Amino acid sequence: MASIQEIAETLHQAALQAKPIPQISLVQPISLTQAYEIQKILIQYRLDDGETLIGLKMGFTSEAKMQQMGVHDLIWGRLTSSMLIPNNHITQTNRYIHPRVEPEICFRVGKDIDGELDETEVINYIDGVAAALEIIDSRYQNFKFSLEDVVADNCSSIGFVVGDWMPVSQSLKNLNMELRIDHKIVAYGSSNDIMNNPWKSLSAATRLATQYGEPIKKGMFIMAGAATNAEFVFANQTASAFVETLESVSLQFI
């Protein structure tokens, strides 16, 4: 039976080499607590390689996402500096195993958050909101995983693109959200699909970060979660995310 350190190393190498591995849970059982321990070690490998921790991401915040992946709980992962891709830039498809994209809303933290905040409190700690596009890329074969598998794999995180920052005073309720590939709408949802209100997702991020002892610092990004299913993207395609009242974002895959 592999140790959590060995599992983290296997996942790290799978990402570096863009080669999928079997599900951990099919080889040996792991608890959710162990999965988060594996994730923390996995991120430490990235930090040891010179990356910095720049934010958090929420997962399975929409009913569509939970149904798509067959899981039943809210999860969270960490974002590092190499994952941030400039808007309207190009990315190499061979960096990934089987990439998918999804439209999201991203928050920028304006001051340190030291504990759990509800959705009415947390707005006072945010100094910008933006449309975002996330690339997810499970390190598991066939993009199949259990809840514990995906948490250990840092919630399939691999990259994200953030648009222009907008004021936080505006309402984020019931905003149309679209995912486009080569200018064709392939998925459509609403900001209400993110826990009925993206601010609730942000509140959940403060709760989970506090629970696991993860500080949320000024300047960090928090990805609120997707409002639609994730869609596969391939070489020579351009993926774009559109959020009503926010700027769109785009990324070309080559």
Each residue's pLDDT tens digit, 87-106:
999 999 999 999 999 999 99
The confidence score (pLDDT) of residue 4 equals: 92
Name the band, by pLDDT with cuts 50, 70 and 90, for residue 144: confident
Compute the distance between CA of residue 105 and CA of residue 249 in angstroms, rounded to an integer: 11
**Segments making up each domain of the chain, as ranges:** 4-253
Instruction: Tell me the Ramachandran region of residue 39: left when phi exceeds 0, alpha when psi lies from -120 to 50, beta otherwise.
Output: alpha
Compute the distance between CA of residue 224 and CA of residue 129 in angstroms, rounded to an integer: 10
Averaged confidence pLDDT in the chain:
93
Count CA atoms within 13 Å of residue 7 on its CB side: 28
The confidence score (pLDDT) of residue 246 equals: 93
The confidence score (pLDDT) of residue 70 equals: 65
- Report which DSSP code applies to 83: G
Q: Outline where DSSP puts E strands in the chain.
A: 53-59, 75-80, 84-85, 89-91, 100-109, 126-136, 157-162, 176-181, 184-190, 221-226, 231-232, 237-243, 249-253
Q: Which of 43-52, 65-74, 174-183 has the lowest mean pLDDT?
A: 65-74
Summarize pLDDT for 201-213 with one digit per residue, the tens: 999 999 999 999 9
Q: Which of 115-119, 140-144, 246-250 has the lowest mean pLDDT?
A: 140-144
Q: Edge-to-edge strand order for the sheet containing 176-181?
A: 89-91, 249-253, 237-243, 176-181, 184-190
Taking residues 142-156, report their average pLDDT: 91
Q: Are 242 and 131 in contact (CB under 8 A)?
A: yes
User: How deeply is 95 buried, as exposed, middle or buried, from its count of CB atoms within 10 A (0-12, 13-18, 19+)?
Assistant: middle
What's the distance, Cα to Cα, between the start and end of the chain in Å? 39
The confidence score (pLDDT) of residue 71 equals: 65
Domain 4-253 has CATH 3.90.850.10: yes
Q: Which residue is associated with the tokens 């040996």? A: 28
